[in-house]
Amino acid sequence: MRTLRRLLLAVLAVMILSSMAVAQHYTFTSIANLSDYNGYFEPATINNHGDVLFAPAMKTGGEGVLLMHHGRITTIAEGGWLTHDNGLCLSPTPLTCPVFGYTYSPVQMNAHDDVAFIMSRDGINYFPPTIAINAGVYRYSPHTGVIPVMVPGTPAPGGGFFWGSHFLLSIPNNGNVYFVGMVCTTATLSYPAEACPEGPGVLVRGVYKADPRGNITAVVRPGDAAPGGSYFDVAYLPSANERGDVAFAGHIYSDQCIADSFWGCWRSMFLKDGQSGRIDVVARNGAPAPRPGKNYTDVGTTTLNSVGDLAFMADFSPTNDFSDDAVLFHRHGKTMVIAEVGDSMPDGGTLAFVGTGGQNIAMNNLGDIVFDATLKDGSQAIYLWRHGHLSLVVKTGTDTRAGVISDLDDGGAGWASTQISINDWGQILFMAHFQGGGGAMLVATPR
Whether pLDDT at 332 is above 90: yes
Looking at residue 24, what is its pLDDT?
62
Question: Does the pTM of the predicted model rise above 0.95?
Answer: no
Q: Which residues of 140-165 are buried (b: 16+ CB within 10 A; e: fewer)?
A: bbeeeebebbbbbebebbeeebbbbb
Please give the share of the chain, as a percent, with pLDDT higher than 90.
83
Looking at residue 2, what is its pLDDT?
41
Q: How does residue 356 score in pLDDT terms, banded at 50, 70 and 90?
A: low
Looking at residue 331, what is its pLDDT?
96
Classify residue 96 by its DSSP letter: G
Looking at residue 357, what is its pLDDT?
64
Q: How many helices (H) and strands (E) does the chain have?
A: 1, 29
Tell me which of 265 and 119 has the higher pLDDT: 119
Tell me the pLDDT tens digit for each residue of 202-231. Answer: 999 999 999 999 999 999 999 999 998 999
Looking at residue 10, what is its pLDDT?
37
Looking at residue 431, what is its pLDDT?
97
413 touches 431 (CB < 8 A):
no
Looking at residue 264, what is its pLDDT?
80
Average pLDDT of span 354-376: 91
Looking at residue 19, what is its pLDDT?
33
**C-alpha pair distances (Å), 19 with each of 5, 16, 42, 101:** 21, 5, 33, 48
Average pLDDT of span 355-376: 91
Strands of the sheet with 108-109, listed across from one edge: 108-109, 115-119, 136-141, 145-150
The strand pair at 202-210 and 177-185 is best described as: antiparallel
Tell me the pLDDT tens digit for each residue of 31-54. Answer: 999 999 999 999 999 999 999 999
Tell me the average pLDDT of the chain. 91
Tell me which of 400 and 16 has the higher pLDDT: 400
Q: How does residue 95 score in pLDDT terms, banded at 50, 70 and 90?
A: confident
List domains and CATH numbers for the chain.
79-285 (2.120.10)
Whether pLDDT at 11 is above 60: no
Tell me the pLDDT tens digit for each residue of 58-80. Answer: 999 999 999 999 999 999 999 99
Q: How does residue 320 score in pLDDT terms, banded at 50, 70 and 90?
A: confident
Whether pLDDT at 18 is above 70: no
Whether pLDDT at 135 is above 50: yes
177 touches 114 (CB < 8 A):
no
3 by DSSP, 3-state: which?
helix
Whether pLDDT at 3 is above 70: no
Q: How does residue 250 score in pLDDT terms, banded at 50, 70 and 90?
A: very high
Average pLDDT of span 287-292: 95
Average pLDDT of span 397-401: 96
